[in-house]
Structure formats: C-alpha cells, structure tokens
Structure 1
Amino acid sequence: MERRQYLALGDSLRCIGDFCRYGWSRFSAAAIDCSQGFQTPRAEACALVARRLDLEPEDLPEVLSCRVTRAEAERILDAFYQREILRRPTAYILGEAWFAGLRFAVDERVLIPRSLLEPFIEEGFAPWVRAEGVRRILEIGTGSGCMAVALALRFPEATVDAVDISPEVLELATENVRRHDLEERIRLYPSDLFSAVGDARFDLIVSNPPYVDAAAMAQLPPEYRHEPRLALAAGEDGLDCILPLLDQAHAHLLPGGALVVETGDAEHALLARDLPYPLIWLEHPAGGSGVFVLLEGGGLLADR
C-alpha cells in the first residue's frame, strides 16, 4: 500500500483517542513484532501518537477527547504507516529509546537499546561487584552509548572506556554522552573487541555483544531487518564474539576484576562447550539467565 492511500484510511478519525484505538487495532491485526521496545501493539500505538504530538505516553489519558489538526493527523498516520507497512521499529520512527530510565537518541546505525543487563546494571552487579572498588570500566560494543551512560551514572567514581567496531556508531554514542553531560568521564573510541585497548586493565568489563546464531538470524521478524546486522549476527552458533571476549579478557582485568557478558540464547551453545572458565550465571528478575560473570582472582569482593 502506498503512503497516500494509507493516510486516506484515517480520514474519519477526529480525536486523540480515535488515533490510539485505530493504531492499536491495525497493529494487532497486522501482528507486528513488539519485542524491540514497547512490548504490545497498544503501547506502540500510544507511544507513536503521543510523541508525534510532542507529549509523553503518560499524558494521553488527559487529552484523549481532544481533536487533532490536519497536520497532526498526517504526522501520526505517517508514523503508523512506517510501523505497520514498512515494519520500521517505533524507536527508529521516533528517533529515541529508553534504557535504565534514561532517554537516548537512536537511528538505524545502532541496535535499539534493550538488554538483559539492564536490571543488573541498576543493582551494580551486586553481590559480585563491589561498587566502591570500581574505578575503571570498559564497555565493549557500546552502540548508542546507552550502557556506557548507565554504567557511568551507577558507578559515579569510575571512568568508562566505551568502544565499538563502527566509527559511525560512535558518532551517535558521542551525541548521547553529551546529552547526559558525561564527556569528562566517558571516553569513546573505535576498537574490534580489545584491539585498540592496548595493555589497559579494568575493574569491570561489560559487553552485550552480537550473539544471534545463523538459524535464528534467518527467522528474525521483519522489524529486526532494520537493525544493523553487525550488531546481531554472531556466526553459526552465536559465539563468534563471546569466545574471543572470554579468551582475551584476562589480559585486561585488574586483580579482583569482573567480566560481565550478555549471551542471550547463545547461553546454550556456550554451556555445551568444555570451557576452562568458571562462569557464574545470573538469574534475571523475569526468569532465566543469558548473562554470566567471570571473576578475576576472586572478584571485587576480595580484599585488595
């Protein structure tokens, strides 16, 4: 369907509530995939309506009966068209996403912020990491910079090195670091894993690397085709990045340091390997794991 045809379908809509219901109905009928952010068709529709009106989704109950202008209606329906017909993720349509309670700029250069690591960052990786002992942090594969910012705020005494293989990605990460006034504490530079880190060592190394295996990549919903393949695909078994991380981390951890890595579904492939590393699998609040900690010499709980 062409954009002009789609926009004409909404000619009978008048108030904000009409548009919220219309988007919700169309998204549900189209069976859009909502796993990249807002989780339900209703939440996706309400977010698009609200932000196209320069409101927040929580503002909508107060204005549902308010009428929209012709220009506002076109902006909303254009967003619906991108979401339903083009299957473009809501975060990219809006140019923003939330992580750890913080708003970040996003576009198709970066993975949409979401991570199993989010609740563990908010907890400071306790009890495996002693927050007061963290002075140097390395984040590998920073993308939008959302995790680097969240880490800097959670560990206020630490500096953060945030690296990514893509210079274009780092341009957006720089924008987000500036947005949160953390230029003095976060250093961004290009690196393929540890390649540009030199002999630097850290108290804490954190990574949400690519971990989608070949079979899963072939079955991803259309929405995921808008995300950079480089940030998702990790070879036949999903371990193309995780195994080098494990092999090289020892040379970059300070005594008592910790490596924390999100593995997602690649956890199963990793568990099937006969690894010489004593991995600690964390229990996610929503159930399951998909995140491990590797402690160097007893971890940050040990006396220094």
Structure 2
Amino acid sequence: MKLEQILKKKIIIEELFSIQDVVRWVSSCFSMSNLWYGHGSDNPWDEAVNLILPILGLPPYIWNRVYNSRLSIKERKIIFELVIKRIKKRIPVVYLTNKTWFCGYELYIDNRVLIPRSPISELINNKFKSIISSHNHPKYILDLCTGSGCIAIACSYLFPNAHIDAVDISLDAINVVEHNIQLHGLENRITPICSNLFNKLSKYTYDLIISNPPYVNKKDISFLPKEYSYEPKIGLISDNKGIGIIEKIISMSPFFLKKNGILICEVGDKMINIIEKYPDIYFQWINIKNGGIGIFKMENK
C-alpha cells in the first residue's frame, strides 16, 4: 500500500490504541518518506518516539515505562496531524513539538533558534574528563553563540557554583534563552546577553569559553536537506567560506580568558581549514565517541 493511501485511511486514529502501536505505524510512514534525520535522531523509529512522547508531555527516555499506555482519540488526532506536517512539509520534529532534551535537560525550542545537536553534549555528560581538571572547576563560563541556551543550562548543572554568560547576536535567540533559563529557575546563575561575539563583554573574565558558532559556507546552504531551511540562517552561515566567525573567536578569545583559561570550540567539517589556516597554533582536537568531529581545546597560557 502506498504512503498516500495509508495516510488517507487514518489508521492511527481508528485502529491503533497504545503508544507502541502508534510509534510503529508512524515509523513505518517515516520509512516510506524522503525524510532527513539529523536534528536529534538518525532513524525512523527514534524520530517517531521523539515526536510522540513530547506531544504527550513525556521525555523520550522513559519509553520503556510508557509504551503500553493507551492514547485518547484526541491525542491520536494531534499526532496524525503532526505526522502529516513532518512528511509533507519536512518540518523537523523539534519544531513540531517545541521540546527537546540536551544532556537530559528539557528545553523549549522554536524556529528562532537552531535545534540543539552539538557533540559538545558528550563532553558535558563526561564532565569534561581529561579536558578540565577535576580539581579546577570554572567559576565564570561563557557560552558564546548560545542559541537556545542548551550548553549554558547543561553546564550550570555540571558546575553548580559557576556563573554563566549566554551570548548571542540574535535578540530572537536571547528571548528563547530567557524562556529556558526561567524554565530551569536559573535566573541567578545564567545571564543572557545580546552581543556580537565579545563586543559587550569584559576582558579577562572567563575561566572557560565554550562555543558552537555558525560554520556553514553560504554557498553550501542550498545543498542542505529541506529540514535545515526551517532553521535561522544566522545560526548556520558564516562568511569566509564558513570560518569567518571561528577566526574571530580564535583571535579574540585570549583577551577574554583568564590565565590558563580554556576555549572549547566546535568547528565541525571546517577542522582541516582551521588546521591549515593556523599552522603555528596548537589545537587539542577532542575525540568524540558518539559521532561528530571538529571540537578543539585551546589554553590561554
């Protein structure tokens, strides 16, 4: 049976009752569609789980505890409509649910900010093992190009005695950050700042700067899957073939780090470009086990 016929039959509403039944049906529909998985999942099943459970007000990681639960007709109708949008409009799941989880912490997300997916999450989950000394917790942290504030919020839980500045050039992004700070009750721990990189910041302030800046070449944006077209271009694109913002961060960060302070920066597929651009700088490239490349550490000696 073709996908169009399956969708017209509205089987999800009429014949499926449990969460598991619906996830199985939705993942089958996704498998038959030309979807891109890269905003939180990498396969149709996880994509279906990440759509359905947040709509029910549940985090995806409690799947094993709820999969036999029955859904109301109203819930099934809502899910059906979102499945149609995901397939026909190619809207990323997170923009349909307005929820995601980064390092286990819930965030509000809409299309004013990129969908969190940075492999920096692995470093946070591992407590920056072998990157930051376990006896030297940073007291002042800068999350540069913060987007949704996901890194700032996760770091606030990891370093409960630290104060964090969450900086972004986009006022829209800062508004989302403020929402997420309030969601976690971190108003006294995280300060959102609308600034073009370091422009509004004080020098020699931070023990740790973490940045996941834009690094997509403008010419490459048209070749990305349609799902990326829903994300704000200001969070994706950088000049000078994608490394313009990274260059500014590398050149300016020493003036905003304390002595022996650390810069951790994600550059993704621009790793080779950065190595070639700065042959005299020692970059410690961090091994990422769960997928992802191009995160370096620099110390301010």
TM-score when scaled to structure 2?
0.89
From 283, 286, 294, the equivalent of 2:298 is 294
- In structure 1, the partner of 2:50 is 47
TM superposition shift of 1:286: 2.8
From 155, 160, 172, the equivalent of 1:168 is 172
Work out whether residues 27 and 45 of structure 2, in 8 Å CA contact, stay in contact via their aligned partners in 1.
yes
Which is worse superposed, 15-24 or 73-82? 15-24
TM superposition shift of 1:175: 1.1
- In structure 1, the partner of 2:203 is 199
Q: Distance in 2 between matches of 1:234 and 1:9?
A: 45
From 138, 145, 153, the equivalent of 1:141 is 145
1:61-96 residue CA offsets vs partner (Å, 9 max, x unmatched): 322xx4641x22220111101111111111111111
- In structure 2, the partner of 1:25 is 28
Within a 5 Å distance, the mapping from 1:40-189 to structure 2 comes to 40-57=43-60, 58=63, 59-63=65-69, 66=70, 68-69=72-73, 71-131=74-134, 132-189=136-193
- In structure 1, the partner of 2:15 is 13
Which is worse superposed, 250-259 or 32-41? 32-41
Distance 1:206 1:54, change over 3 A: closer
RMSD: 2.1
Q: Distance in 1 between matches of 2:71 and 2:102?
A: 32
Q: Distance in 2 between matches of 1:88 and 1:13?
A: 26
- In structure 2, the partner of 1:38 is 41
- In structure 1, the partner of 2:274 is 270
Q: Distance in 1 between matches of 2:239 and 2:126?
A: 32
Work out whether residues 237 and 266 of structure 1, in 8 Å CA contact, stay in contact via their aligned partners in 2.
no
SS at match of 1:62: coil
| Residue 215 of structure 2 corresponds to residue 249 of structure 1 | no
> Which residue identity is paired with 2:10?
G
Q: Distance in 2 between matches of 1:179 and 1:93?
A: 19
Q: Distance in 2 between matches of 1:208 and 1:90?
A: 22
1:246-285 residue CA offsets vs partner (Å, 9 max, x unmatched): 0101111111101100011111211222443211111111
> Which residue identity is paired with 1:93?
L
Which is worse superposed, 122-131 or 27-36? 122-131
Q: Identity over aligned residues, as a percent?
A: 31
TM superposition shift of 1:117: 0.8
> Which residue identity is paired with 2:9?
L
Structure 2 gaps of 5+ residues are none
SS at match of 2:147: coil
TM-score when scaled to structure 1?
0.88
Structure 1 gaps of 5+ residues are 298-304
1:221-265 residue CA offsets vs partner (Å, 9 max, x unmatched): 111111111111123522011000001011111111011000111
